Amino acid sequence: LPDFERAHLETPALSQEALIDQLLDQVAPGQAFTQSPAQKRALLSQQLKQTPHLVVIDNLETVADYQTLLPLLRELADPSKFMLTSRHSLQAQPDIFCCTLNELNPEDTLAFIRHEAATRGLPLLAEAAEAKLQRIYDVVGGNPLAIKLVVGQLSVLPLAVMLDNLKQVRGKRADALYSFIYWQTWQRLKTV
């Protein structure tokens, strides 16, 4: 199998202009914004200062992303607040409060597997013996995204095959695990 280490992107996945446009769509829905980028920025700032909002930006994953967006977010904050999710720590940023979330414990992981299986219409997995579900935890740990991806794969792959495949990436970085799971999904799509 190829090495699934993710290349670090040097360009941000989300530009300041795109973020401003998306936020304007949220705080002022139904309005057409034909202004210049500077005017849109001023309008968004005014909206966020007049009426406090909690803005959640999920998956701020690259250095380029937060180096590009943090100056804008600092400008737009107060009284509005921003919650950023990332697998990378922003502890070095002096004005950002960081809260690290650890993986789920084994008991919560098994409950989450059952929930995901029930949601996806996989009753055999949802009602499986604890020992069977524990095998999933033993391979992927309590990482919610990995669990969601694995449960999704189990609609097309037997558990034993899935676990054998995952053992190849055990102990590697989380993004290698995700890439591997997505690669498996891609391979399944190509055969359909």
**Assigned domain for 94 exists:** no
Please tell me the distance from the alpha carbon of residue 61 to that of residue 87, in angstroms, as a whole number: 6
Residues 150 and 183 in one domain: yes
Residues 126 and 179 in one domain: yes
Q: Would you say 165 and 1 are in contact if contact means Cβ atoms under 8 Å apart?
A: no
Give me the number of domains the chain comprises.
2
**Assigned domain for 92 exists:** no
Polymer length in residues for the chain: 192
Residues 154 and 186 in one domain: yes
Residues 27 and 80 in one domain: yes
Q: Give the residue carrying structure tokens 């084994």.
A: 106
pLDDT of residue 29: 81
Residues 122 and 78 in one domain: no
pLDDT of residue 190: 56
**Assigned domain for 173 exists:** yes
Residues 172 and 139 in one domain: yes
Please tell me the distance from the alpha carbon of residue 88 to that of residue 61, in angstroms, as a whole number: 7
**Assigned domain for 125 exists:** yes
Mean pLDDT of 143-154: 87
**Assigned domain for 186 exists:** yes
What pLDDT, in 10s, does the model give residues 42-89?
999 999 999 999 999 888 777 677 788 899 999 999 999 999 888 778
Q: What is the domain extent for residue 139?
A: 106-191
What pLDDT, in 10s, does the model give residues 4-15?
334 444 566 788
**Assigned domain for 172 exists:** yes
pLDDT of residue 177: 62
